[in-house]
Amino acid sequence: MDMSSEGAATGIGPTHRIAVIGSGNVGAAIARGAVRAGREVVLGVRSAAKAEVPAGVAVASPHEAVAGAGIVVLAVPVAALADVVPTLAVEPGTIVVDATNAVGAPVPGGHPTVAHHVAALAPHARVVKAFNTVGAEHLDGTPVTGRPTFLPVAGDDGGRADIVELARQMGFDAVDLGGMDAVVHVEDHARLWIHVAIVRGLGRDWTFTIARP
Ligand SMILES: NC(=O)c1ccc[n+]([C@@H]2O[C@H](COP(=O)([O-])OP(=O)(O)OC[C@H]3O[C@@H](n4cnc5c(N)ncnc54)[C@H](OP(=O)(O)O)[C@@H]3O)[C@@H](O)[C@H]2O)c1
């Protein structure tokens, strides 16, 4: 299908359809939020029997889920990326969102960030880092208080705007941090959340927000 002409005719572009790879805490929450935001969402799972599927979300194998999706969200352990990403057959130009965190282990391949690792695995994709800085409990975008959750986004110049738009539709206060050189700040921000929540014992039930006058 020519997705670009479909977009012109219907107002629904290729990024309307989102494949979320991984149906754990993170994948399920992002899928739930994206569906609520009006997107078409397919969960890519290796075992349909195990997957907890939010209402309104379709299920397929990871490879099938990616077909026709303009946005692919990676919600699997970092250690699984090298196995999972090459099997997806991501079309050139597809936006691939890396929602993972390297916790307690170095970034594979000696890359500066996990998103650079993903970019090496999917060299024709537009890799964007996002949705890794918020505990899974609040990753569907529902604000914890009246103030929306801060969501930093960085990565490919041709992909960030679509992810900022998606995140805002989900309810986040999404902020564009810049290109691939800025991804390190997004990954550092997740490390800060993990340190405060887990290491320092604040617990998981909170998010960062930006206070504006
Ligand atoms: N938990 C959080 O609060 C949080 C927040 C932000 C970012 N993150 C990051 O998000 C990622 C996912 O975390 P999570 O908490 O959602 O983990 P999780 O609940 O353990 O879910 C991981 C998912 O990845 C799938 N998976 C694992 N290996 C796979 C493979 N080789 N092929 C296909 N699918 C595979 C699992 O499938 P099966 O069910 O079949 O095993 C499962 O659906 C991690 O990188 C984590 O660091 C976590």
The answer on pLDDT for 50 being more than 50 is: yes
Q: 23 alpha carbon to ligand 1 midpoint, in Å?
A: 7
Q: 47 alpha carbon to ligand 1 midpoint, in Å?
A: 13
CA within 13 Å, CB half, 54: 23
Q: Among candidates 169, 211, 183, 196, which has minimal Cα distance to 37?
A: 169
Please state the pTM of the whole predicted model.
0.95
What confidence tens digit (pLDDT) does each residue in 148-178 have?
999 999 999 999 999 999 999 999 999 999 9
Q: What is the pLDDT of residue 44?
A: 97
The answer on pLDDT for 127 being more than 90 is: yes
CB of 89 within 8 A of CB of 36?
no
Q: What is the pLDDT of residue 8?
A: 44
Amino acid at 130: A
20 φ/ψ angles, rounded to the nearest 5 degrees = -110, 120
The answer on pLDDT for 6 being more than 80 is: no
Substitution candidate for ligand 1 out of 20, 21, 23, 25 with most atoms within 8 A of CB: 25
Substitution candidate for ligand 1 out of 26, 189, 206 with most atoms within 8 A of CB: 26
How large is the average pLDDT for residues 28-47? 97
